[in-house]
Amino acid sequence: MSEIVYSTTVTAVGELVPDFAEQGVLVFFGQNAPAELHEFSIIHTPDVQIRAPQVGDRITLAQNTYNVLAVGSVASDNLLNLGHLDLKANGLTEPEMPGDVNVEAVSLPVVKIGDRLTVISQP
């Protein structure tokens, strides 16, 4: 049975986020992120933190759904401890960097304050 294993609400969107999204990358950080990271980051507040994404999970963001294809070796610790997630829409099944979470090579949405990111486990 599918289960929500991580869920968070966007509280701020840096002015460079749309430029990063056009390149297929969304960078998330928790509320305690240093100010110098805010310009290119999506700041969020989680309400469910059972675990981070795993290969085969689905991520929903701004009413779009993505399949998780690869997860870097530190992505779980980064998300659960720092609220940090590098979501890359590159279609790769191997992460390029240890913190990457890869999904299909598709257009990423324009993210707004109040949008939710949810990780859903798949049976």
List the catalytic residues: 44
Q: What are phi and psi of 75, to 5 degrees?
A: -60, -40
Compute CA distances 62 → 9, 74, 100, whole Å.
10, 25, 20
CA angle, 101 then 65 then 104, to 5°: 50
Q: Report whether 61 contacts 111 (CB < 8 A).
A: yes
Structure tokens at 97: 């960097």
- Residue type present at position 91: G
CA–CA gap between residue 85 and residue 28 (Å, rounded):
5
